[in-house]
Amino acid sequence: MEPIISLKNLTYLNVFNNFSISFPKQKFIAISGPNNCGKTTLIRILSGNIFKSNALIYNKKYLEEENLDDYFKLVKEIIPEELTFFYNNLEEESLSFLTKENKETYTKLLKAFSLSKIKKIAFKDLDTSTLIKIKLLLLLLEEPKVLLLDDVGLYFTKEEFSKILKTLQAYQKEKKLTIIMTTSNLEETIYLDYLYIITKNTIFLEGKPLEVLEKDNILNKIGLPLPFMIDLSVKLKDYDLVKKIELDMDRMVDELWK
């Protein structure tokens, strides 16, 4: 798979030392790992907001300081603790993003993110989860090549974030976007394209999410608990009670009763 963005021999403070990783084009990729493994720092470096010369590669070329402005147009990020807006509310903020070409997309995303009724409410009166959805909408209107998300699922219920992920996956496929998302919750990775587990300055595991998540003993050792249904499936699989990982409880019960 051809990478769109890579880090090569990255050394930064005491977080990364000669660390390398690549992200393929037009995929939805998750990065997880134990606490303090550098996930947020990685997002800041990939976004260019922490600039390291001779480390970040975009489309096979090293990023240079003089090219940062162009890079910022192509690569967008959401770090929930660092959300910023220029105007008072979504109605005012969206004016600088809207064009004839993206008006239909704007309307669809308003509905998908349940934002239609809050367009005139001041940002200061909205909770973080709503502000994240607003930022997502605005950044998607810009049609970046890469979207970076830092553990945004922490601010939503499981059901809410599942809907957001489905919306993002549909948009990602339609626009041929690359999305790179860090997460503390492995359940969020199940239906994505690829999963990296990083720890101790190393890519500990990588591959298709379900294949990585089957390695329950390794993940437990580094302090990453498996989602309940996957943990149960893996244990039942070890005893030859089911043939594959099953994420739906009703289907699992049917399988056990065969």
Domains of the chain: 3-211 (3.40.50.300)
pLDDT band at 222; cut points 50, 70, 90: confident
Cα 222 to Cα 161: distance, rounded to the nearest angstrom = 25
Shortest CA distance to 64 belongs to which of 75, 74, 53? 53
Lowest mean pLDDT among 63-67, 149-153, 164-168, 193-197: 63-67
pLDDT band at 35; cut points 50, 70, 90: confident
pLDDT above 90 for 21: yes
The pLDDT score that the predictor gives to residue 220 is 84
The pLDDT score that the predictor gives to residue 16 is 94
Lowest mean pLDDT among 93-102, 137-146, 156-165, 222-231: 222-231
Cα 124 to Cα 207: distance, rounded to the nearest angstrom = 41
Percentage with pLDDT > 70 across the chain: 100
The pLDDT score that the predictor gives to residue 82 is 94
Shortest CA distance to 170 belongs to which of 195, 191, 156, 200? 191
Mean per-residue pLDDT for 114-125? Answer: 96
Percentage with pLDDT > 90 across the chain: 74
Which pTM value belongs to this model? 0.92
Q: Which of 209 and 258 is assigned the larger pLDDT?
A: 209
Cα 245 to Cα 231: distance, rounded to the nearest angstrom = 9
Mean pLDDT of the chain: 92
Q: Which of 230 and 147 is assigned the larger pLDDT?
A: 147
The pLDDT score that the predictor gives to residue 216 is 83
pLDDT above 90 for 4: yes
Lowest mean pLDDT among 34-38, 92-96, 214-218: 214-218
Q: Are 39 and 182 in contact (CB under 8 A)?
A: yes
Judge residue 185's burial from the number of C-beta atoms within 10 Å of its C-beta, 0-12 exposed, 13-18 middle, 19 or more buried: middle
pLDDT above 90 for 238: no
The pLDDT score that the predictor gives to residue 24 is 95
pLDDT above 90 for 214: no
The pLDDT score that the predictor gives to residue 207 is 96
| Residues in CB range of 16: below 8 A, 6 or more apart | 10, 38, 41, 42, 201
> What token pair was written down for 217?
């003993």
Mean per-residue pLDDT for 58-75? Answer: 94
